[in-house]
Structure 1
């Protein structure tokens, strides 16, 4: 998996994560098989509800959506591939743009192995928390449902397992539909990575040092370390207005897709998920406070307000649907020019005015 010039030894990261990963909740073989089967059924059931609510449908002739129910090591394997697919081309683009020569094999091996161990530690922690994920990078196109984490969470929350599994699937199937119904979305995100590389003045060696510091700080965050003297996360790589503009665009589109999924998973109502209100209330309690995931994401982004923008995504989607209906909101998928700007996330009427050509009165 790892190339000789890679910033991170992803093979080592995967092995480290597998070694450090905690076992999932205790279940019998029969119980585990039932969970896998029910998650597949829930994902299939969710498709019709998500399409009906959103008005989106996969493009004709596109790839067949794939659902994979995985364990924690399976999630690790998928994400080492995805992270390699995201970061390695960035390194190569930097080197090519600056005409640099790769460092010697010894320097590369030492640096990439150190970063690989750090990355493996972070993956080992995250793989116990993620409930589901649509693979955008790497192999791409698969919807992953992490069975042990779903079972562990539903037990901890004390909620109805059938309702909770469908509720989770509604969220993840929404992500799947976003990328299968909007074929330009994935290339757009990939273009932003390339744009970030083109706008940077960092050498690959300096980038390696910054990313090593960043990954190390993520490990500190997972273990509960403070933000004192922490590096600036991704913002440490940002030097000029072009890079800041790229980061704003990525933040806006990720806020959009997350807010859209949150809107859908609650929008289906109790006719589809009878205990949806209880699920939302208890799940919101789970998210409260500054937990490890919050610390990791804040450290990664390097700026507290960036986390708020992810929450703003739901405000944006709800606001636009209230002002312009679902058909009006779906104009956001017409092309990159219709994506929200960062400042529009908390001002949906501003997006409506810019994209739809009118500024409706906001109800008091």
Structure 2
């Protein structure tokens, strides 16, 4: 299935509408708190850029772009537009009924994700990339962790702004992701509905979740494309987590406390339904990306320094191979 065919299978407008309606309402906050959080997140997204550039040694030209501070329904609408753009879909699907069904499914997934996401850098927007920060979720987590709001907001921005710097300083990354996605969604002779049906059976019967199923139904080029995306995602998330901790207490005074409490929250046991949904959506795999990716970046930077680590951004051939993420010395030996 080509990108355009995949995108055309979803009624994206309906997905956005369903997702916005299904999104869980955020916890109650005063108007003062809401306005203050929006203003401070916008300020922190700008303040985070200089220390991120200093730590990463990645430099971008031009003024620091403003972040877009959104609520959950606004994030869902932005996410559907990004997915539509990535998959080459039209504003709405050609087949009314099938497009509505897949649109409703997509909207329901995004509604679930919208209650947990703190921020996201989207490199596929029409204006070349936009940083989104979901202020109700930031407020909810900082209250749950009982941390200093200003410190937590800047700490979150350090991670998300690192993604902005990664893609702005290395514009080839967006094209690399698009090319891998094109292979991943290429027609392998399977009807999408049949694949989804087999997915449900597979998840019931197996323990290795969505990734194991995907590998079972993909061609070899598709498996390689999936590996490329997973490795890149692990690198990007680990690099951003490394930067958050490397910035230091002069920028985020309570950063050590925030990291400890945030990691405890990440690993807290979830209710059964939550665990199933997280596995299906790959959220637990993303948690692994943070841990493995940060360990990779930490070790390489410790051994060779940030300037030599930045060789990793030269091009596709210098990215880590799948077996190098957990053995950083192999990447150092091959590239450096």
Q: Is the 8 A contact 1:83 1:138 kept in 2?
A: no
- Out of 224, 236, 250, the residue aligned to residue 214 of structure 2 is 236
* 2:87 aligned residue: 87
Q: Is the 8 A contact 2:44 2:154 kept in 1?
A: yes
What is the rounded CA distance, in whole Å, between the counterparts of 1:232 and 1:333 in structure 2? Answer: 31
Task: Report deviation, 1:159.
Answer: 0.5
What is the rounded CA distance, in whole Å, between the counterparts of 1:309 and 1:349 in structure 2? Answer: 18
* 1:335 aligned residue: 315
Q: Is the 8 A contact 1:53 1:268 kept in 2?
A: yes
What is the rounded CA distance, in whole Å, between the counterparts of 2:281 and 2:288 in structure 1? Answer: 14
What is the rounded CA distance, in whole Å, between the counterparts of 2:175 and 2:7 in structure 1? Answer: 24
Q: 1:145 to 1:337 in 2, by over 3 A?
A: same
* 1:97 aligned residue: none
What is the rounded CA distance, in whole Å, between the counterparts of 2:274 and 2:84 in structure 1? Answer: 21
**2:147 is paired with a residue of what secondary structure?**
coil
* 1:134 aligned residue: 121
Task: Report deviation, 1:6.
Answer: 1.6
1:299 paired to 2:288: no
- Out of 163, 171, 178, the residue aligned to residue 175 of structure 1 is 163
- Out of 124, 134, 150, the residue aligned to residue 146 of structure 1 is 134
Q: 1:171 to 1:213 in 2, by over 3 A?
A: farther
Query: What are the residue-to-residue correspondences of 1:205-354 with 2, within 5 Å?
Result: 206-211=191-196, 227-229=203-205, 233=210, 235-236=213-214, 238-289=217-268, 291=270, 295-296=276-277, 298-300=279-281, 308-354=288-334
Task: Report deviation, 1:300.
Answer: 4.0
Q: Which moved more, 1:286-295 or 1:23-32?
A: 286-295
Task: Report deviation, 1:136.
Answer: 2.5
> How many pairs were matched up?
325
**2:161 is paired with a residue of what secondary structure?**
helix
* CA deviation vs aligned residue, 1:113-152 (integer Å, no higher than 9, x gap): 1121122111112111100000123445110010111001
* CA deviation vs aligned residue, 1:46-81 (integer Å, no higher than 9, x gap): 0001000110011x46x9634111111110110011
Q: 1:17 to 1:305 in 2, by over 3 A?
A: closer
* 1:123 aligned residue: 110
Q: Is the 8 A contact 2:145 2:262 kept in 1?
A: yes
Q: Is the 8 A contact 2:6 2:87 kept in 1?
A: no
* CA deviation vs aligned residue, 1:255-292 (integer Å, no higher than 9, x gap): 00000000011111111111111101110111114547
User: TM-score normalized by structure 1?
Assistant: 0.81
Q: Is the 8 A contact 1:17 1:120 kept in 2?
A: yes
What is the rounded CA distance, in whole Å, between the counterparts of 1:64 and 1:48 in structure 2? Answer: 9
1:185 paired to 2:173: yes
- Out of 28, 31, 41, the residue aligned to residue 29 of structure 1 is 31
* CA deviation vs aligned residue, 1:285-331 (integer Å, no higher than 9, x gap): 111145477644532459x8786455311111111101110011100
Q: Is the 8 A contact 1:251 1:310 kept in 2?
A: no
- Out of 185, 199, 202, the residue aligned to residue 189 of structure 2 is 202
**Gaps (5+ residues) in structure 1?**
92-102, 218-225, 357-364
* CA deviation vs aligned residue, 1:171-213 (integer Å, no higher than 9, x gap): 0000000000001000110011122344x4225xx02443577
